[in-house]
Amino acid sequence: MAKILFVMTGADHWTLADGTRHPTGFWAEEAAVPYQDFTRAGHDVVVATPGGVVPTLDRASLAPEANGGQEGADRIAAVLEEMTPLKQPFVLSEIDPAEYDVVFYPGGHGPMEDLAVDKDSARLLTGVLASGKPLGIVCHAPAALLATEDAEGDSPFSGYSLTGFTNAEEYRAGLADKAKWLLQDRLVAMGAEFQEGEPWAPKVVVDRNLYTGQNPASAGPLAERILRSLG
């Protein structure tokens, strides 16, 4: 049985270019589906957040249109209700990555607010990458990689092939014109080899021990790839 750490945003908003706060948090599918896949495979999952705050759910992520209908939304909501680790998160700054076999970052716009500048998360990401253990990151959560940049803009993730929520998807979601910055642009500027798939279609990119998924639909396939790596 593997011990899996979910690192999740503690933010309940995303500050836009005009200073207004867009209500957000984590995206339901990106936490619920991998959690269900990992636990059904017999693995143990715990959650950590900055400050140990209970993660905020982006309510839009439980809308029927975001889940293929009301039945899908109800199914995701039921998994979240059973997800005890969400209610008892550890403090991110106190986490020792050596204690975990896999680290997984669900997305949502929340990571754009806090994990993108969180040095405790950056320390963990750098350590897991160097360890060779599977590191899974989906949708907007690759924003956390930006915190690993040094004063010269260099990052241990520079040169890695990866994916994440694309500019095209942000425009289709209606928030690109309001954002301070776009994830795809920042990852490219950091030196990542960004791979862009069709909007909203599942896409997973694996480069060494870095596993990334483009969007909510990629969360399940990403978890499956990580499970295969665990044998």
> Residues with Cβ < 8 Å from 106, sequence gap 6 or more?
6, 8, 26, 27, 30, 31, 34, 138, 139, 141, 219
> What per-residue confidence (pLDDT) applies to 153?
86
- Amino acid present at 91: V
| Upper half-sphere CA count for residue 129 (Cβ side, 13 Å) | 19
Distances (CA, A) of 190 to 9, 24, 128, 152, 215: 21, 25, 19, 10, 20
Instruction: List beta partners, residue 162.
Output: 194
| Each residue's pLDDT tens digit, 160-181 | 999 999 999 999 999 999 999 9
DSSP string, 107-170: -SSHHHHTGGG-HHHHHHHHHHHHHT--EEEETTGGGGGGGG--TTS--TTTT-EE--S-HHHH
Is residue 211 within 8 A of residue 224, CB to CB? The reply is no
Domains (ranges, CATH) in the chain? 3-230 (3.40.50.880)
> What per-residue confidence (pLDDT) applies to 169?
98
Alpha helices in the chain (DSSP H): 28-40, 70-82, 84-87, 110-113, 119-131, 167-173, 183-190, 219-230
> What per-residue confidence (pLDDT) applies to 231?
86
- Amino acid present at 217: A
> What per-residue confidence (pLDDT) applies to 212?
99
Residues of the chain with pLDDT under 50: none
Distance CA 194, CA 175 (A): 20
pTM, 2 dp: 0.98
The phi and psi torsions of 98 (rounded to 5 degrees) equal -65, -20
Distance CA 223, CA 213 (A): 9
